[in-house]
Each structure stands twice: as C-alpha cells, then as structure tokens.
Structure 1
Amino acid sequence: MNGRKDSTGKKPAHDLIKESNLTYDDYATIDDGNRYELADGQLELMSPAPSVSHQIISFEMQKNIAGSCESDYIILSAPVDVILADSEVRQPDLVLIHRKRMDILSNRGVVGSPDLVVEILSPSTLKRDKIDKLKVYARFGIPEYWIIEPKAGILEQYSLSNDQYEPINVFQKEEQITSPNIPCISFTMTDIMERIPKLE
C-alpha cells in the first residue's frame, strides 16, 4: 500500500479500493464522504443514503423493539461499524446486543458478534444482503438474522444451526413476531408498515 495521503492526513479511498488485504485500521482512515464495508479485506462501496421509507422502517422497528426489549438489549442503528474481524467490518441497519454482553461495545463500534442483525432490503443491496451477508453473519456466529422486504412488508427470520442459517419463519401483516433467541420481541409487521407514508 502506498503511503500517499491527502491534505487531512487521510488515505484517499481510490487508492485503497484497488487493493485487497485491508484491515480495520486502513478502513478507519478513509474519510471521503462515502460509506464502505470491509468484506474479507476488500472495500465495498455502499449505496447512496437509504431512502426516506427505508429510514422510517428502521426507526419504527427500533422503536417497536425498544418498547419491549430496551431493558435487556442495546439497540443500535446504521451507520455503526460491526467489527467481526480485522478484515471484516459490516454496517447492518439494526443491531441488538444483550446488556450482559456490553463488553463488545466500544467507541469504534461493536467489536464481535451481536445477538441479532437486521438488514432492510433495497434494490442495490438485494444480493449483498440475501447472499453475501447471509454467509458472513453465519460464519461469525451471529445467532439470528432478519431480512426486511419493505415493498411486501415481510420479515424473513434466520437462525444459526450448525454454522449455517436456517430460515425459520416469514412474518407478515398481523402475525406476531417472536424470536427463539430474544424472548422480549413482540410486534407485527403491520405495526411497522402502517406508519410508512406512500412516497414517490
């Protein structure tokens, strides 16, 4: 890696993005106004800012989860770095960490595997969320993974079994969402989707 830096002392992302075997320290020096994830030592440029609908869904989910789980769990929303390894840094839309495991929290982000990660799909993240992250989150032992399909108002629930995710439920409309790992979870997708305005 070359040592050239910009006037702020940061390494330009266009220098780093061509290289592999990057580490968290390399990732943390990038300050070019873009958002990245670090996938197996390679930078991945994230899409532009999430849509307003995406952000409202994230907020409503956070609010509903907090309503029954806040006393037991820390709930964080993107952008937050989940540092799974020195070469693997992800930014899920929502993250839950049990308060008994607060030792994995630092000012840098979450250093280790959360109890639950949630990704809200958009056209630009479909393959990344449903294929790449499904494998990565399982590999690093995150017990539960949710994928939200905003247009259909569906929550796909995956649970870790023998180091792989198994789809265990699909929730929609008035079905009560429950979790085998997080007993305080209690809301429906209607609770979320009825709060989302129809936007152009």
Structure 2
Amino acid sequence: MDTAVKKPIKFTYEDYLHFPEDKRYEIIDGEVHMVPSPVPHHQMVLGNLYLRLCEFVDKKGIGEVYLAPLDVVLSEIDVVQPDIMFISKERLNIITEKNIQGAPDLIVEIISPTSEYRDRVIKRKLYSKYEVKEYWLVDLEKKEIEVMALGESGLETVKIYKKTDILESLVLKGIKIKLNDIF
C-alpha cells in the first residue's frame, strides 16, 4: 500500500494563459478559482466607483485606474483579477502590454455570496503578502465599504464606511466619495 502523501497540483501563470478565454479565473497559491459572472447590482456599484476614482485620478494626474477583467500577476502562482485597481504614477512601470506585473497601490473587491471568504480572508492575506497599500472591500448587502491599509501585521481595517458616509482614502489623499451615490 502506498502511504506517500500526494501533493496538490500547483498551477502557474503559464498554465493560466491556456485556460478558456470565455471564463474568468484566478490562481491563488497555485490553486485555480473560477470567478462567476457578476450580477447587475455588482456592475452598477463597480461602474459608480470606477467613475469617481477615474475622475479624481485624472484630475490630479496621479496614476491609472483599471477594471476587471485584467490580470494582476503577483507571482508565478498568484494571478488575480481585482474588480478595480489603482496604480500610482511612480509605479506605472508595472503596467505591461498584457497585464499588471506586481501589486497595485489600491485594490477594490466587490463581495458576492460566492466570493466573501476568498475576498475577506484569502485575498486579504495575499494582498498583505504582496504589500498592496490599500484594500477596499465593498459589501453590497450591507451597503458599506471596509477600507484597509497596510500596517505592520498586514492589511488592517482603518474604517468601515456606511451608505450615508463619505469615504476617504490614505492612498488617494483628498478623495471624498459619497457612498449614497455609489449604492
């Protein structure tokens, strides 16, 4: 009887490039995660946030804002597609013709029922590991946004903004987003 422990198969970015193009995938620590299509409310909130971020970033001339689907290659075995990402002017060199090579300064993930654990726990650890400076978790059901900033022990909650609050950012200094306009 074979008592050897089988190691799980680890996928790489090279494998990822051969996945079907009509689906969204992420690889976290070599494990493949299929990302389901978002629901209309998700897309509405995504669009509202994206517009506010683009207006601010363009007006200030401080970097670039992108939407999923766009590959963010953190390592050979960590490839994600955040809903929204901001890359500062000083770090535009991580933007390549095909993908983003490295951690964006700000990542926004909109939680769905199927992604909640992955977004709150797994991606928080992953983004901490790769030193994402700020991480926003958008909760559609609660109509709130949790803003986290990179601290000594990883991404730490700075504030949870409710629907009636005005969101502010440490990375995007001076931005003020009325969450009533987002949800």
Same fold (TM over 0.5): yes
Deviation at 1:44, TM superposition (A): 1.3
User: SS of the counterpart of 1:106?
Assistant: coil
1:181-192 correspondence runs (5 A) = 181-192=171-182
- Give the alignment partner of residue 84 of structure 1, picking from 74, 94, 99: 74
Whether 2:164 is the aligned partner of 1:174: answer: yes
CA contact (8 A) 1:65 1:186 kept: no
Deviations 1:142-170 (A, max 9, x none): 01100001122100011111141111101
Deviation at 1:127, TM superposition (A): 0.6
Whether 2:23 is the aligned partner of 1:34: answer: yes
- Give the alignment partner of residue 57 of structure 2, picking from 69, 72, 76: 69
Deviation at 1:32, TM superposition (A): 5.4
Please tell me the residue identity of whatever aligns with 1:42. Answer: E
**Inter-partner Cα distance in structure 1 for 2:10 and 2:97:** 24
Deviation at 1:101, TM superposition (A): 1.2
Q: TM-score, normalised by structure 2?
A: 0.90
Deviation at 1:89, TM superposition (A): 0.2
More strand by share: 2
Whether 2:111 is the aligned partner of 1:111: answer: no
Please tell me the residue identity of whatever aligns with 1:192. Answer: I
CA contact (8 A) 1:77 1:95 kept: yes
Deviation at 1:171, TM superposition (A): 0.8
User: Aligned pair count?
Assistant: 174
CA contact (8 A) 2:63 2:92 kept: no
Q: TM-score, normalised by structure 1?
A: 0.83
Deviation at 1:20, TM superposition (A): 2.1
Please tell me the residue identity of whatever aligns with 1:30. Answer: F
Please tell me the residue identity of whatever aligns with 1:26. Answer: D
Give the match for residue 54 of structure 1.
42
Q: Which runs of 5+ in 1 are unaligned?
A: 1-18, 194-200
Q: How high is the sequence identity, in percent, across the aligned residues? A: 28
Give the match for residue 4 of structure 2.
none
Deviations 1:75-107 (A, max 9, x none): 101111110001100111000001221100012
- Which range moved further: 32-41 or 93-102? 32-41
